[in-house]
Amino acid sequence: MVKGNSKTSASSATRKKHSKKHAPPEESVQDNNRKGSLKGGKKIKETRVKMYIPPVKPAPVQPDPLEATGLLHTLPADLLVVLRNLSKKAQVTKVRALEELQAGWVEKCVQGRDEGLEYTLVEMLPVWVSYSRGVLKVRWLNGIFSFTICPHCF
């Protein structure tokens, strides 16, 4: 088809758009002070310069307090299992770990069944404090444990 043929399927608006697209650019003077000035009742959009935004760096991994303090090798294995469960994400696991810590360790210390248990629980306190920050939904059990252990171990 010839370019000037009037029998095309394109509408007059489409032909006008394509002719503007392929026409040489007109030079227009625009005030630098006026951004987005009006031209014929329409706002002129300014082109944005794309810039690279680097991704956010992940937070550094917090070391496990059991390994950082060296208590991993000094505390009993059963107590380590309970403390590891306190560091888990699931609230049910944290509740069970706090109940086990209360019933299995603190109650024995309060009743005076084992003399060395008091020293073990005192050594465990920094680890428990670091894990207790994440135990927000089980504050009640955490409070009972704190109330039970604090008067008897110090």
Provide φ and ψ at 25, rounded to 5°. Answer: -65, 140
Taking the C-alpha atoms of residue 11 and residue 124, their distance in angstroms, rounded to an integer, is 81
Q: Evaluate whether 73 touches 123 at the Cβ level (below 8 Å).
A: no
> How much is the pTM?
0.52
Three-state secondary-structure class, residue 38: strand
Q: Mind listing the pLDDT tens digit for each residue in 65-119? A: 888 888 888 888 999 999 999 888 888 888 888 889 888 888 888 887 777 888 8
Taking the C-alpha atoms of residue 98 and residue 147, their distance in angstroms, rounded to an integer, is 13
Taking the C-alpha atoms of residue 63 and residue 18, their distance in angstroms, rounded to an integer, is 63
Taking the C-alpha atoms of residue 23 and residue 55, their distance in angstroms, rounded to an integer, is 41
Q: Binning pLDDT at 50, 70 and 90, where does residue 57 land?
A: very high
Assigned token pair, 1: 């088809």
